[in-house]
Amino acid sequence: MLSAVDLSHKRTVTDLIWLPASFEVTEKGRFTRLKENVPTEQQQFLSVGADGTLLFWDVRKAHEQPEEKKEESGKAKKEGWGPLAKMAIHNPDGAMELSPVMALLDVPEEVTSRCSVYAVTEEGEFVTIALYAPAEENFTKGVKSVIAGHYGPCVALQRSPFLPSVYLSIGDWTFNVWHEGIASPLFTSPFCATSYTCGAWSPTRPAVLFIGRSDGMIDIWDLLDRSHEPSMTVAVTANEVTYIEFTSSANRQLLAVGDDQGTVHVMEVPRNLRRAANNEKHFATNFFSRELERVAYVQRRGEDEEPTGGAEGGGSDEPKEGEPTQAEKYEAAFLEMEAKFLEDMELNVVDGAPAAE
């Protein structure tokens, strides 16, 4: 079955996601969670293209009209299969159309929880799109946040297999680790000498990432080992790595690597990269929790340092006469801390005499 061209995306389709059987969309674009009479098979899916729209399709309506000839012109007319519903994706801060290229659907098991789509765009943004939230009053579906994450187009978006609220995005020369509901990345990698092209989480180690590069290398990052550089770099091919995929069995783990010349390389992952240490998931959870606290602290500091007065608020940032400025307060606090440190370390006495002022 082929969809009708004039009813489909206006740009290349870059991602497809099947909707769970218990989550459906109606022809009017309303989303529902089925509690009874849940189909045994998935019937609907979501298509993503960089034309600023998400299209929802139902295979039960996949039918093609037979060709009919017009009476006057004699030209054949064919009506094809179209989407069940459409959703336009625009930046909430303006009317600019977004261009999603990869997406992940989040449908929690709890029927009252919010259902969302997380996407990355050609402009390197991380986008949160709310679809359904029965427990929230005055809920409106659509784009809830757009966060700049990369300087170029994103090429991958992956959910952690161990921590469902943690996501990996890859674009330009960096990768970002995101947490659901946080307005900035938990972790941003240093810039690589060559551009990143794809990537994936390790299926057996919670903090290990495999990132493909345009020079045929794969960077292997163990965030519990080091975060300023990859733990290992492996040469796979002389061409650009375009896709990587894992498969595991009881005794071994294989990594399939595709390149831009159409060649597939299959490698066996060594034991130290596939076998998790004791409590490694706990350590990875603690690592991301610390990063989450750090990001939240930085955001609070930024909010505290924003000016509260000014012309709009009717106040002024200038101190009152006789009061020290904010810079003077910081300087006094530093000098006090320095004097305390010198006293504790007994560095303020030289040859039995007090140090010169």
Summarize pLDDT for 165-187 with one digit per residue, the tens.
999 999 999 999 999 989 899 99
pLDDT tens string, the chain, 357 residues long: the values are 788 888 899 999 999 999 999 999 998 889 998 887 788 889 999 999 999 999 999 998 887 555 454 555 555 555 678 999 999 999 988 778 999 999 999 999 888 899 999 999 999 999 999 999 988 888 899 999 999 999 999 999 999 999 999 999 999 999 999 999 898 999 999 999 999 999 999 999 999 999 999 999 999 999 999 999 999 999 999 999 999 999 988 889 999 999 999 999 999 999 999 999 889 999 999 999 999 999 988 888 877 776 555 444 444 556 667 788 878 888 888 888 888 888 887 776 554 445 444
- Give the model's pLDDT for residue 343: 84
Residues 159 and 104 sit within 8 Å (Cβ to Cβ) = yes
Q: How far is CA 67 from the centre of its chain?
A: 44
- Give the model's pLDDT for residue 356: 47
Q: Which residue has the tokens 């609220």?
A: 165
- Give the model's pLDDT for residue 11: 93
Beta strands 241-248 and 253-259: pairing type?
antiparallel
Residues 6+ apart with CB under 8 A from 168: 156, 157, 158, 159, 160, 175, 176, 177, 178, 199, 201, 209
> Which of 171, 172, 175, 201 has its CA nearest to residue 187?
175
- Give the model's pLDDT for residue 348: 62
- Give the model's pLDDT for residue 35: 80
Give this prediction's pTM. 0.80
Residues 111, 91: Cα–Cα separation, whole Å: 28
Burial zone of 338 (CB within 10 Å; 0-12 exposed, 13-18 middle, 19+ buried): exposed
- Give the model's pLDDT for residue 310: 47
CA angle 143, 201, 241 (to 5 degrees): 95
Strand order in the sheet with 85-88: 13-18, 44-49, 53-58, 85-88
Summarize pLDDT for 57-77 with one digit per residue, the tens.
999 888 755 545 455 555 555
